[in-house]
Amino acid sequence: MKISSSTTSPAVLLSLLSFASAHAGHENSGPKAGETIQQYARRHRSNNSDAFDLPSFHQLHDLNRNGFWERDEIEAIYGVHHVYSQKKSTDEAEHQKKADHITSEVLRLLDADKDGRVSIPEFEKVGLDGLPNFDHMGAEGHHYDVESEFFLHHEEEFHSTPETQTDESYNHPEDIEHFAMHEQIERKEAEKEAKYQGISVDEALAQHEQAEKAYEERLAREAAAADAGGQGQEEQPLIIPGDADHPHAEQLSPPSPRSPMHLRPIQKSRG
């Protein structure tokens, strides 16, 4: 999904993430703070008892759909490169050492044929109890869900009331840092989508633009209908271009129902 620091409010971003996860058919936010991988998986299984099993859990985290967990996907499961996990490392060298330790330990325990990846049969053989935990290292399984994590870690504490959701309220260092990283996240996401779909990065970015435009047009129509007393009409599903082929859709999660609806991005200075 598109993440823009100059045109899109966090509320729109969170809503787009919600639509993407709905189209993907999964609700996957990763382990909660202090929750082990096993507890997370069992909670997910209890919420999806009709369809959840070990292969389903494996496929849910197989981001490139090649049938294996590879190093980058193992890192995603444990949220190794999430911004909040990175802050628990003193420098890049320590962070890379942590990433290498986590992936190597998972592969040591699960990769029976030592080909550097984990297949479904290998995961089934070990099971959930075979997944190690690295909470003590700051790897709590955030799944790169930056928007939801930002809400949980900062919005809930500082911007949970209407008076703290004005443009002027978003002046904390965390706010500025959060919005500043959007362009970098957008570019990396577009590069991954382009590679997966066999298109150019510009084409992937254009898909983002089209999805955002469609969503904003829908918001405008709904607002106009509400003003005209048209509530109660059946809502048409939003079709987001490229969702069917999105390699990361299953790690997008719906926003909290308390997600603020008046957020605005902090404009970049031109200095």
Q: Is 266 part of a structural domain of the chain?
A: no
Count of domains for the chain: 2
Q: Is 58 part of a structural domain of the chain?
A: yes
Q: Is 30 part of a structural domain of the chain?
A: no
CATH code of 126's domain: 1.10.238.10
Q: Give me the pLDDT at residue 156, please.
A: 64
119 and 155 share one domain:
no
Q: Is 98 part of a structural domain of the chain?
A: yes
Q: Give me the pLDDT at residue 52, please.
A: 55
82 and 107 share one domain:
yes
Q: Kindly report, residue by residue over 179-228, the tens digit of the pLDDT.
A: 666 677 677 777 877 887 889 988 888 887 887 788 788 888 888 888 88
Q: Kindly report, residue by residue over 99-124, the tens digit of the pLDDT.
A: 899 899 999 999 999 999 999 999 99
Residues with Cβ within 8 Å of 209's Cβ and at least 6 positions away in sequence, in order, are 2
119 and 81 share one domain:
yes
174 and 120 share one domain:
no
Calpha distance 63→245 (Å, rounded)? 11
156 and 244 share one domain:
yes
Q: Which residue has the higher pLDDT, 15 or 63?
A: 63
Calpha distance 86→139 (Å, rounded)? 9
Full domain range(s) for residue 200:
10-25+145-224+238-251
Print the SS3 string covering 142-202: CCCCHHHHHHHHHHHHHCCCHHHCCHHHCCCHHHHHHHHCHHHHHHHHHHHHHHHHCCCHH
What pTM was estimated for this model as a whole? 0.39
Q: Is 1 part of a structural domain of the chain?
A: no
Query: Cα–Cα–Cα angle for 195, 58, 120, nearest 5°?
Result: 100
Q: What is the DSSP string of 17-69?
A: HHHHHHHHT-----PPTT--HHHHHHHHHHHTTTT--HHHHHHHT-TT-SSEE
Calpha distance 54→6 (Å, rounded)? 41
Are 21 and 27 in contact, with CB atoms under 8 Å apart?
yes
Of 115, 137, 159, the residue at which a domain comes to its end is 137
User: Mean per-residue pLDDT for 75-92?
Assistant: 70
43 and 102 share one domain:
yes
